[in-house]
Amino acid sequence: MPATDPAVLIDGLTMKYGDKIAVDDLSLSVERGTITAVLGPNGAGKTTTLETCEGYRRPQGGRVRVLGLDPYAERKDLLPRIGVMLQDGGAWSGVRAVEMLRHIAALHANPLPVDLLVERLGLGECGRTPYRRLSGGQQQRLGLAMAVVGRPELCFVDEPTAGMDPAARRSTWELLEEMRADGVTVVLTTHYMDEAERLADQVHIIDRGSLIASGTPFELTRSSGHATIRLVVTEPFPPSAPASLQRALGDRTEVTEINNQSLLITGPADADTLAKVSAWCQQHNVLPESLTLGQRTLEDVFLQITGRELRA
């Protein structure tokens, strides 16, 4: 397969657990040497998709290729070339952190220096601690170290910074960015929008097993030139309020109800729009608690498309 072909190709993937459809005819691709973030609320199908790409699950419908290989049928050939950070760690419960890492390193032909990785990810202090006694953040850091120690061509990381403190998050981001600079492809899932916005070259937003939006963070949040205004009011407004505000603002803006006390207004955040929002509040006897102007975030994009918040 030529090196310009995608690192990951998912074509019409469908996965079910019993009657429950977890992944529904999903198609996307991941370019080599990029960081791609797969975003979505709990239960969207992110982990199932990743596990299928990692060869843990056989596609029930559609086709998956990873580095040109069928990850289920050709898992033996694929495994030495990929790194996998699982959501639940993947280390043996009694083994000491650094021993585990040395063991994984020894399975690879040209591993990263373990001591360097231990220092980079701040694992030195807990190196002799058994895995089951590590904190959640330490387990995450060990899981990441295990995924990258073999110098993979492609690394799958499932919620890499969940449970980490801010310093560990920064070290993790820097490590992932360095890997990209070295030509490694990274596919990550995350619930943190700032993480996706900071790291990802490409973002795929999944909801209920289906792809609902794809693009660079810039394309998804800024390219329309639109900003957002969040209006939070002191008392619940009537169900007719969003439509009434939409009429008052006209077609250039889009009003989305977040809940019965807050609305998201997307469109030109100019003086005219702000004046119309204020006038509407006055006419409808609505007292704003806050009126916040900001750039559109990936959470706003999700809310606009689905009418639901990404994080419940």
Ligand X SMILES: Nc1ncnc2c1ncn2[C@@H]1O[C@H](COP(=O)(O)OP(=O)(O)OP(=O)(O)O)[C@@H](O)[C@H]1O
In the complex, the smallest distance separating the C-beta of residue 191 from ligand X, rounded to whole angstroms, is 7
Closest listed residue to residue 39, CA positions, set 173, 177, 195, 161 = 195
Sequence-ordered list of residues with C-beta below 8 angstroms from that of 169, at least 6 positions apart, any chain:
161, 195
Burial 162-197 (b: 16+ CB within 10 A, else e): bebeeebbebbbebbeebbeeebbbbbbbbbbebbb
Judged by CB, which is closer to ligand X: 131, or 192?
192
Q: How far is the CB of 169 from ligand X (least distance, A)?
A: 18
Shortest CB 144 distance to ligand X, Å: 17
In the complex with ligand X, which residue's Cβ is closer, 151 or 208? 208
What is the contact surface with ligand X in residues (CB under 6 A)?
A: 17, 20, 22, 40, 42-48
CB of 244 to ligand X, least distance (A): 36
Where does residue 107 fall: left (phi above 0), alpha (psi -120 to 50 degrees), or beta otherwise?
alpha
Nearer to ligand X (CB atom), residue 64 or residue 241: 64
Beta carbon nearer to ligand X, 47 or 228: 47
Q: Which is nearer to ligand X, 190 or 297 (CB)?
A: 190
What is d(CA 215, CA 205) in angstroms, rounded to the nearest whole number? 9
Structure tokens at 3: 């090196």
Smallest gap from Cβ 48 to ligand X, in A, equals: 3
